[in-house]
Amino acid sequence: MHCGIALGSNLGDRLAHLHSGQADLARLHTGPDVPLLSPIYETEPVGCAPGTEPYLNAVMEIEYYGEPLALFHALQQIERAQGRPAEHGHNAPRTLDLDLLYAGDCTLQSVELTLPHPRLTARRFVLQPLADIRPELILPGAQQTVAELLACLPPHPLVKPWVIP
């Protein structure tokens, strides 16, 4: 099944963390085609403490033929390998954040995981890169495409294409 994963980093070498995360996700990919990878965006922190550094964000879609919860646990292992503590504060700065956005047509609500991601449609920093790779995608339970959902969001917080300094 096609699984969308949001990547974010705002600590240390943000680009290196994203690239390492993308490489790890590519190893989880089990499909015949190349995984889809969005451009990288720099985004203002949302819901974070004052002075929090900007994030680099991207979205990657892989094919994964296992249970969504198993993929979710694999994402947590990748985060920990990148230096993110297992126990962390809500919206705390992070070396690598991986969010499972969707897993095919699966809908799920458990203590550990909700699919599609419950805040996906309200986050420009996720919808913009997702729209770059899957603009016509209609998420389970949604009526609009990702591109249409993105068009409904306000312009802030700012999400801008990232250019290597």
Per-residue pLDDT of the chain (165 residues; tens, 9 = 90+): 999 999 999 999 999 999 999 999 999 999 889 999 999 999 988 777 777 889 999 999 999 999 999 999 999 999 999 887 666 555 667 899 999 999 999 999 999 999 999 999 999 999 999 999 999 999 999 999 999 999 999 988 788 998 776
- Predicted structure pTM score: 0.93
Domains in the chain with CATH codes? 2-161 (3.30.70.560)
The per-residue pLDDT for 90 is 59
The per-residue pLDDT for 100 is 98
* Structural Rg of the chain based on CA atoms: 15
Task: Tell me the residue length of the chain.
Answer: 165
The per-residue pLDDT for 155 is 84
* Pairing, β 97-103 against β 36-37: unpaired
The per-residue pLDDT for 110 is 92
The per-residue pLDDT for 89 is 58
Query: What's the CA gap between 60 and 100, in Å, rounded?
Result: 10
